[in-house]
Structure formats: C-alpha cells, structure tokens
Amino acid sequence: MFFNNKEKGQLVVLMSIVIFILILGLIIVQLIPSENIITRRTLESNQAFYLAQSGLQQAFYIINSNPDLAFLTLTLRRINDGNLLSYTMTYTNGNVFKFSYNISSISNGEYTITVSYTLSKLNSGGILIDYPIYKIRSEGYIPSINSYRVVRKIEVYGNNTEITLDPFKFAVFAGTSVNFSGKSAVIEGERLPDGTFDTAIYSNGPVDLNKPPLINGTYSPILGKDVIANDNTLSMPTLNEDYLKSVAISQGLYRSGGTVDLSNLVNYAKSNPNWYNSATKTWLTWSLVIYIDGDAKMAGNVEFQGTVIVKGDIKITGTGNKIKGILYAAKVDSVTNDLSIFGDPIIEGTSIGEAVSIGGNSTIRHNKQYIENIMQTHGITNVVKATKTKLKILSWNEF
C-alpha cells in the first residue's frame, strides 16, 4: 500500500498524538500514588500524631510531678529491642537533672519534646500578674528523628500556678460577716472611668444592710452590685507570711504577744529618714510591713503607708488614724478574729478581715494604685502566696 504525501503527513501527526498521549499517561500513572501508598501515608501520619500526643502526656506527667520545673528536653528513640527514653530537667533554682531508661515495648517511630518556662502578663483582680506559662512542643516522627517520612507537631501552652488577687479589689473583704454601727461611715469601691463605683464590700457571710452607712454614694446599696454577701466564690487570700514576716523583722516592725499599740511601731518607722520625710510629713516607700502575732489597736493619730498584718483582733478607735495600703486581720487556729473600724479613720487601699465591724465616721475607700504599689515593691508572689496546681491547658494547636 502506498500513501501520498498528504496521507503520510496526516499519519505522522496522528502517531505523534498517540505517542504523546501514551507518554502523558505513563507520567500520570507514575505521579498518582497507588491506593496502598496513600493508605500507608495516612497510617504513618496518624502514628506520628499519636507519638506526638504520647510525648505530650509524658511531658504533662513530668511537669505535674515537678511543679518547679523551668525547662525540659525529652526524647524517645528506637533501639534494637525496645525504646530509650531520655530527658534533661532544669529547675527554677538552676538545678539540672538528667536521666534515661529503656522501655521494653517497641514503637513505630520516635518523638522529641521541648518545654520552656516564661512569664506572661495575666489579669487577676484588676492587677496584671506575671504568671508562669509553659510552652510545650511535641514532635512525632515516622520512622525516626534523623530519617523520617512523616512528622506531626503539636504546641501546647499551660499554667500550673494559681495566684488570686480578686479579694484585693474590694474596699472591704470579710471572711465571715460585715456589721455596721450607725450610718455615718463612708465606704467606696474603686471609682470607675465613668464616675460610678465598683463593688465596695464582699463577704463570704451576711452583710447587715438594715441601716447601712453611705456605700458607693447611697444609703440604699444594691445587693450584688455595691455589696456582695453570702458568696463563697472567693475566699480569704493566703499571704506569703514567711516573706512578709521576715521583712517586718528586718525592718524592726514585728511584734508578738499581748495587745500591741501600733502607734509605737509607726513612730519608730517615722524616725527613719529613708522611710519618712518629717519636713513634708510624707512617706517615702511602700515597702514597710507591720506584722503582729497577736492583737493590736490604733487609738488615734496613727498614720501609716504600707502593709499591716495582724494575726488576731485589731481595733481602730479615736481620731486622726490614716492608713494607705493593705490592712489584713487574719484567722489564727480556726478562731474568728475581729477587724473593728471606728472613730474617724481614713483607710485607702483594702481592708481584709474575718468578722468586720464598721462604725463612727470611718472612711474606707478602695485604691487600686496603692495596692499595686505594694505588689510591685515586694513582688506579687511575695505578698500573695502562689499555689501550685496540676497543669492547666490554655491553648493547643498543631503546627
């Protein structure tokens, strides 16, 4: 059979098209993975993810068992007949601990964990606190860290420290009750930007509002707004007593036994020119701590700036008493102590006690700035005791 030139040209074009299609088909077949390959990749991806999750659980266990952990590196590697788990722990005090041990079971891959410890600003009671935050990164590898086909990575942020400053955001915080004598006292919560007041009084027990004094500018305070009563959401704050007591001792402002007259301690503090300017009659520091193991009284003309802690009853009477800062009357041996505020004192900051009684021409105002001054001077965790808890997850994501 013979073809003319025209037919030969058409045949060449047709063959070229056929060959192109065949080559393209072969390329596509090579590029498209088989069902088995897809299944294997999906399986290995899941295995890598489970390895990363397993690493997280191991890190959570170590953090919960070592609440003062600062840094951690943790690896799981396959060996001939099992796995080798190795980790290095660094504590907040700088101590380093290294350990490794064999695990008889054999995994399909390996994982590596890094844990770092930083401080992050979080709000508590209207005050920004440097909360310790853990950043945990877990990476699962199939089949190994050095030579892997698949890797899955998870990042988690968590916290294991509880610091509660909410009790400090009220003018008066009571652990059991609040009672009033007369209607001449003035009690004000923190003044808000719009000119109104935040809650002035918080009590775990009852607040006598039959004939209340002037609370947040009214003789008819609103329960739940101006006053919170019979509420156990918050509890008496736990102070870092070891630190505060040591400060008071070093400053010569610690006393115990009997009923201590605070005027003697305040006069002693005023004699120190680094603490008090007698010419301008102004305090120069927020670092002062008066700490009383027993009862105390303020009988008149006592002016102080800082922290007053009384592990017993404290009675304020007479005229001319002024306190700027934190007034704290605590519970001792499960005996309820009284914080009695009478006369015409001016207390600005916060007043915290078990059974609180207020009368006379007392003026009690919340002042957030004064509280922050004290917290910043000493460090928040030196004023309020931080409580270690199990790790709480703040965020989780795969990256």
Tokens of 381: 């965790």
pLDDT of residue 387: 82
pLDDT tens, residue by residue, 138-150: 999 999 999 999 9
Q: Is the pLDDT of residue 120 over 90?
A: no
pLDDT tens, residue by residue, 217-261: 999 999 999 999 999 999 888 899 999 999 999 999 999 988 999
Give me the percent of the chain exceeding a pLDDT of 90: 62
Mean pLDDT across the chain: 88
What is the C-alpha separation between 209 and 381, in angstroms, rounded?
35
What is the C-alpha separation between 135 and 104, in angstroms, rounded?
30
Q: Which of 257, 358, 270 is nearest to 306 (CA)?
A: 270
What b/e string do you get for 300-330 counting C-beta neighbours within 10 Å, with b at 16 or more?
Answer: eebbbbbbbbbbbbbbbbbeebbbbbbbbbb
Residue 114 backbone phi and psi in degrees, to 5: -130, 135
What three-state secondary structure class fits 280? coil
Q: Percentage helix, strand, coil, to 5, in the chain?
A: 25, 45, 30
Is the peptide bond prior to 167 cis by the omega test (within 30 degrees of 0)?
Answer: no
Q: How far apart, in Å, do the first and last CA atoms of the chain sit?
A: 68
pLDDT tens, residue by residue, 165-175: 899 999 999 99
Q: Where are the domains of the chain?
A: 35-163+388-398, 166-383
Q: Mean pLDDT over residues 284-303, rounded?
A: 94
Give me the percent of the chain exceeding a pLDDT of 70: 88
Q: Which of 139, 255, 209, 213 is nearest to 365 (CA)?
A: 213
What is the C-alpha separation between 75 and 176, in angstroms, rounded?
52
Q: Are 87 and 73 spatial neighbours (Cβ–Cβ below 8 Å)?
A: yes
pLDDT of residue 334: 39
Q: Is the pLDDT of residue 176 over 60?
A: yes
pLDDT of residue 380: 86
User: What is the pTM assigned to this prediction?
Assistant: 0.73
DSSP 197-242: B---EEESS-B--SS--EETTBSSPPBTTTEE-S--SS----B-HH
